[in-house]
Structure 1
Amino acid sequence: MKRDTHKPTGPSQRMLRVGELVRHALSGVFARGEIEDPLLEGKVITVPEVRMTQDLKLANAYIMPLGGVGAEEIVAALNRHHRFIRGRVAPELDLKFAPDLRFFVDNTFDEFGKIDALLRSDRVQRDIAKDEDED
C-alpha cells in the first residue's frame, strides 16, 4: 500500500481557529480604545484577517482603518505598541504562549477592486458576449 506523502499547503484548522481568536481579541482592544496614541484616537480600525504561523508564535494581523485614510501611519503606530497590545490580547486566547503580533495594511479590497474593474472592462465583456453567441 502506498502512503500519501502530500502535505497540506494551506493553514491548519488550529491556525485558522487561533487566528480568529486573535482577530476578535484585537477588534475588542481597538473598539475599546485601549491604546493611548494620538494617531489612533478616534480611529475605527477593522481587522479583516489574522494569519498565524504554524507554531502559533507569530500573528500577522491585516488591518484597515475606516475609509482607508492614513493606513500606513496607523500600522506603524500599532507596530510600535505591539507589546502592549499583546499583553491585552493574551488573556483572551487561552494559549500556553501568547503570539507576537505584527500589523500590516490589508490590501484585499484594492485587489477586489482591480479584479472587478478588469471583469467589467470592454475587452472581457466582448469576450463574454462572443462566448454566449457561440452557445
Structure 2
Amino acid sequence: MANYSRIDRISEEVKRELSAVIRDLKDPRLPAMVSVVNVRVTKDLKFAKAYISIMGDEKTVKDGMEALKSAGGFIRREIGHRLNLRNTPEFTFVADDSIAYGSHINEILKEL
C-alpha cells in the first residue's frame, strides 16, 4: 500500500512543478489559461501522462498542445532539475476539457 501513496505523492509533486514550468514557457502558441488537471506517473518513473486543460476554441487548444509537445524535452529537463528523482519521466500531454465542460454545465444550470 505504501507504494501507491509514494507514486501519488510523486505525481502531485510533478503536477505542481509542471504547472510552474508551463507558466514560465515563452511560446506564443500557448495561451494564458493553461491548467494541469492531473498527472499520472508510472511506477518505474519513466513515463508520465499529463492532462492539460486549455481554455479557448479548438484551434487554441490544438496550438497549445503542439507547443507543449515541442517543448517536451525542455519541460522534462526542467522537471529533472527541480525534483530529485531517480528517473525523470517522459511526458505525454493529453488535452482535458473537464474544466470547460464544467463551466458549460454551470452556464446551463444558471439558465434553469
Shift in Å, 1:113: 7.2
For 1:54, give the aligned amino acid: K
For 2:18, give the aligned amino acid: L
| Counterpart for residue 57 of structure 1 | 46
Q: How many residues align?
A: 104
TM-score normalised per structure 2: 0.76
- Report the 3-state secondary structure (helix = DSSP H, G, I; strand = E; otherwise coil) of the residue aligned with 2:88: coil
The list of structure 1 runs, each at least 4 consecutive aligned residues, that deviate by more than 6 angstroms after superposition, is none
Structure 2 residue 70 is matched with structure 1 residue 47: no
Which residue, 73, 77, 91 being the options, matches 2:81? 91
Deviations 1:85-117 (A, max 9, x none): 111111222111111111111133466579x69
- Report the 3-state secondary structure (helix = DSSP H, G, I; strand = E; otherwise coil) of the residue aligned with 1:12: helix
User: What fraction of aligned residue pairs are identical, expressed as a percent?
Assistant: 31
Aligned partners of 1:106 and 1:15: how far apart in 2? 21
Which residue, 75, 84, 93 being the options, matches 1:103? 93
Shift in Å, 1:14: 1.9
Aligned partners of 1:68 and 1:51: how far apart in 2? 24
* Rg larger in structure: 1
TM-score normalised per structure 1: 0.64
For 1:18, give the aligned amino acid: I
For 2:16, give the aligned amino acid: H
Structure 2 residue 12 is matched with structure 1 residue 23: no
Distance 1:68 1:49, change over 3 A: farther
Deviations 1:50-102 (A, max 9, x none): 0111211111111112x343222211210111001111111222111111111
Q: Say what the alpha-carbon RMSD is for the aligned residues.
A: 2.6
